[in-house]
Structure 1
């Protein structure tokens, strides 16, 4: 948790090769993941945006996974 990853790195790690498409594709996938795991997608605790960099995994502190509680 806490280490930011660029969009390019996330795509490369997920696909295992360089992707010639749009970097914003990862934003759509992140949004879909947030809808599935975050209680409040406007204040995410698990997948956090690092403006100008990409994303990082948060500790989830203050958040509950959907289905918990």
Structure 2
């Protein structure tokens, strides 16, 4: 009864104790495959914007975009955490050496340059007033 009730309430699977680790791992892998969760983590995409960290390539609307190393790592950080609003200070810590003595305008300048290079995909980088930036869309 509990198994049927759990599945009726939305559970995707059920495993009874005692169970073997190989069975558990196999069930998790099967669920990830079914959910499309086993994707190449080196290729990120958001709308028409695609980033391949292994090949160090970015395309926006199908056209290649040449980025500096800082622009690339900044975009990669935002794309790995879509919807998360980062403060300028967090972006400075993560993308630049956190002992960097420059002001937070450095982030703003890099975001502006990055948006200019992304063309139509620039709108994916959103300004969060009073906070910083996030990738959305």
**TM-score with structure 1 setting the length:** 0.70
Task: Show the counterpart of 2:101.
Answer: 20
Task: Determine the C-alpha separation between the residues in 2 that align with 1:29 and 1:52.
Answer: 18
**TM-score with structure 2 setting the length:** 0.38
Task: Determine the C-alpha separation between the residues in 1 that align with 2:134 and 2:119.
Answer: 14
Task: Show the counterpart of 1:52.
Answer: 130
Task: Show the counterpart of 1:9.
Answer: 90
Gapped regions of structure 1 (runs ≥ 5): 60-69
Task: Determine the C-alpha separation between the residues in 2 that align with 1:22 and 1:33.
Answer: 18
CA contact (8 A) 1:34 1:47 kept: yes
Task: Determine the C-alpha separation between the residues in 2 that align with 1:40 and 1:16.
Answer: 28
**1:39 aligned counterpart, secondary structure:** helix
Task: Determine the C-alpha separation between the residues in 1 that align with 2:104 and 2:132.
Answer: 10
Residue 30 (structure 1) aligned with residue 106 (structure 2): no
CA contact (8 A) 1:11 1:18 kept: no
Indicate the structure whose relative CO is greater, using CA pairs within 8 Å and at least 6 residues apart.
1
**Shift of residue 20, structure 1, vs aligned partner:** 1.5
Task: Determine the C-alpha separation between the residues in 2 that align with 1:51 and 1:38.
Answer: 22
Task: Determine the C-alpha separation between the residues in 1 that align with 2:111 and 2:131.
Answer: 14
